[in-house]
């Protein structure tokens, strides 16, 4: 075999080996399918506004936190005294027309009372205190003052009235009116913004609602030992007004 034929054979082998190598050295975008990047916009479209609707309500339910506290040298003596006073308070509530379902024990405790002895540098026991508190619902608001007077007389010096709050038994029925006011306010804002921007306001594409109802908590405190005879009769109680507040967040579509 002459040198020319040998060179031709070697050149052919080199070309055969080079073809697959060159095929694998191309651009990655050509050699394989690469998924295209997808971009999702997180920016909300349209006009987003909020509206608030409020409805004033006259409370139809009063809740009293009341009870008795007795202190004696022994637990038995304090408990007996507290039980006697509580029985009179319960009778006064019943006589006033309060149903048993509207009277609930909210707190009961028996605690040892002590006094600091400066000479011995220790707390010295001086007796025991029994406290029995009730949560009472009064559904006739006009009778609240009379009921307070009645339990004060019944409980005597042991009576305690720690607080009163006024509320609405079924606030949900006022939500419809508050909702209408909130949506009207939201649409008014959106229309104003659209006009200022030279856009045409479309339909709502998103609505979110949150409601708030806060009962009114008043303060009536007979927690200090005052002789019942010294208390002024004819307690005056005013329920005032409370509110249902409803907030909506609304997105409206717009067109140029």
User: Across residues 231-244, what is the average pLDDT?
Assistant: 76
Rounded mean pLDDT of the chain? Answer: 81
What separation in angstroms does the CA of 126 have from each of 53, 159, 180? 57, 21, 62
User: Across residues 149-172, what is the average pLDDT?
Assistant: 93
What separation in angstroms does the CA of 34 have from each of 27, 30, 52, 100, 189? 11, 9, 51, 76, 47
Domain ranges across the chain: 47-55+173-211+249-255, 58-169+215-238
| CATH no., domain 58-169+215-238 | 3.30.70.2970
pLDDT in tens, 57-100: 999 999 999 999 999 999 999 999 999 999 999 999 999 999 99
The pTM score is 0.63
pLDDT in tens, 18-30: 444 444 444 444 3
Query: Confidence band (pLDDT; 50, 70, 90) for 122?
Result: confident
């Amino acid at each position: 075999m002459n040198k020319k034929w040998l060179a031709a054979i070697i050149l052919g082998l080199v070309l055969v080996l080079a073809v697959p190598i060159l095929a694998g050295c191309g651009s990655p975008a050509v050699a394989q399918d690469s998924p295209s990047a997808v971009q999702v916009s997180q920016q909300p479209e349209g006009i987003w506004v909020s509206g608030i609707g409020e409805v004033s309500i006259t409370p139809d339910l009063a809740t009293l936190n009341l009870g008795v506290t007795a202190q004696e040298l022994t637990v038995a003596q304090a408990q007996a005294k507290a039980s006697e006073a509580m029985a009179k308070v319960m009778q006064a509530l019943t006589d006033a027309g309060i149903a048993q379902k509207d009277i609930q024990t909210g707190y009961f405790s028996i605690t040892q009372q002590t006094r600091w002895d400066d000479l011995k540098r220790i707390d010295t026991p001086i007796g025991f205190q029994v406290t029995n508190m009730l949560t009472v619902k009064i559904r006739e608001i006009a009778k609240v003052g009379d009921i307070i007077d009645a339990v004060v007389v019944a409980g005597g010096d042991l009576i305690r009235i720690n607080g009163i709050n006024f509320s609405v038994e079924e606030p949900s029925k006022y939500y419809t009116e508050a909702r209408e006011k909130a949506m009207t306010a939201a649409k008014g804002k959106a229309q104003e913004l659209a006009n200022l921007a030279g856009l045409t306001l479309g339909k709502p594409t998103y609505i979110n609602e949150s409601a708030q109802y806060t009962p009114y908590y008043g303060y009536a405190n007979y927690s200090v030992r005052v002789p019942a005879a010294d208390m002024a009769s004819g307690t005056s109680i005013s329920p005032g007004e409370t509110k249902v507040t409803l907030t909506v967040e609304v997105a409206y579509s717009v067109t140029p």
